Amino acid sequence: YFTNSDFLLRYQEDVYDRMWSPYNQTDWKQISTSLTVNTNSSSFHLPQDTLKTPATPANASEPLIDFEFPESSNDKVYIYLHFAEVQALRANETREFDISLNGVPINDSYRPLYLQSETVRNPTPVICENSKCIIKLSKSAKSTHPPLLNAIEGFAVADFRQSETDDNDVMAIQNIKAAYGLSRISWQGDPCVPRQFLWDGLNCSETDASIQPRITALNLSSSGLTGTILSDI
């Protein structure tokens, strides 16, 4: 996230305990707000501090912001760009810009909402040449203000050598989790894959990599459960 501080954000500021590293460049400047940015319409639940100090070009006439995101040259990556307008623009003012990744447009004529977080990402994963993903935010002809960017995330696609858990089993265990209000740290992602992150209390079938594993046993002892037994079990 873009800030002049050196403060690393984690839990409790971030409910998912993502690590937000401070970032700044000499050819950027920051604008800020002391007001609360609304994040209720976003599933990303961004910390307030990641949204309150967006970066803009230090030279307002510059049409773009370049950002180099280093990853392994073989990784397929998703880039998530988080935006929120923090300046109350007048009726005759506009902040509008085009967003591209490695020269490919992903959002044209984008206008960030005032004190409302939004996220833009590439729809399909990309491989960045020379380990650099180049993001450009280009000011449109009608815009009176330069682009801004509040925070950025990058995710590399994990290449699993195993098939995903059987769809029906996934649906069943998710229904069980929701119905009984089970909250276990390991109960995230695929229940059986990868093997080293198998959900606690589950046994899964050992199969060929081309065959979807099945959940073969479920241990709910010491969970304090009451009521009826779900048909999903």
Query: HEC string of 48-117?
Result: HHHCCCCEEECCCCCCCCEEEEECCCCCEEEEEEEECECCCCCCCCCECEEEEECCEEEEEEECCCECEC
When pLDDT is averaged across residues 25-35 and rounded to a whole number, the result is 91
Same domain, yes or no: 96 and 145: yes
Phi, psi (deg, nearest 5) at residue 78: -110, 135
Same domain, yes or no: 119 and 41: yes
Retrieve residue 25's tokens: 């460049």
CA distance 202 to 175: 15
What pLDDT is recorded for position 98? 94
Same domain, yes or no: 101 and 206: no
Same domain, yes or no: 74 and 135: yes
Omega prior to 48 cis, within 30 of 0: no
In a domain, 122, yes or no: yes
In a domain, 39, yes or no: yes
How many folded domains does the chain comprise?
2
Q: Do residues 204 and 213 touch, judged by C-beta distance below 8 A?
A: yes
Same domain, yes or no: 45 and 122: yes
Full residue range of the structural domain in which residue 145 is found: 28-156
Collapsed DSSP state (helix, strand, coil) of residue 118: strand
Same domain, yes or no: 147 and 184: no
Collapsed DSSP state (helix, strand, coil) of residue 180: coil
Is the Cα torsion angle 140, 142, 147, 153 positive or negative in sign? negative
CA distance 22 to 154: 14
Final residue before a domain boundary, out of 105, 137, 156 = 156
Look at the pTM and tell me if it is higher than 0.85.
no
In a domain, 115, yes or no: yes
Same domain, yes or no: 94 and 186: no
Place of tokens 């109960």: 187
Same domain, yes or no: 47 and 118: yes
Q: Tens of pLDDT along 210-227?
A: 889 999 999 998 888 888
Same domain, yes or no: 48 and 137: yes
Same domain, yes or no: 45 and 147: yes
In a domain, 231, yes or no: no
> Is 161's pLDDT higher than 80?
no
Final residue before a domain boundary, out of 105, 128, 156 = 156
Q: Tens of pLDDT along 126-153?
A: 888 777 888 889 999 999 999 999 999 9
Q: Tens of pLDDT along 47-92?
A: 999 999 999 988 877 756 666 666 667 788 899 999 999 999 999 9
Final residue before a domain boundary, out of 137, 156, 175 = 156
In a domain, 224, yes or no: no
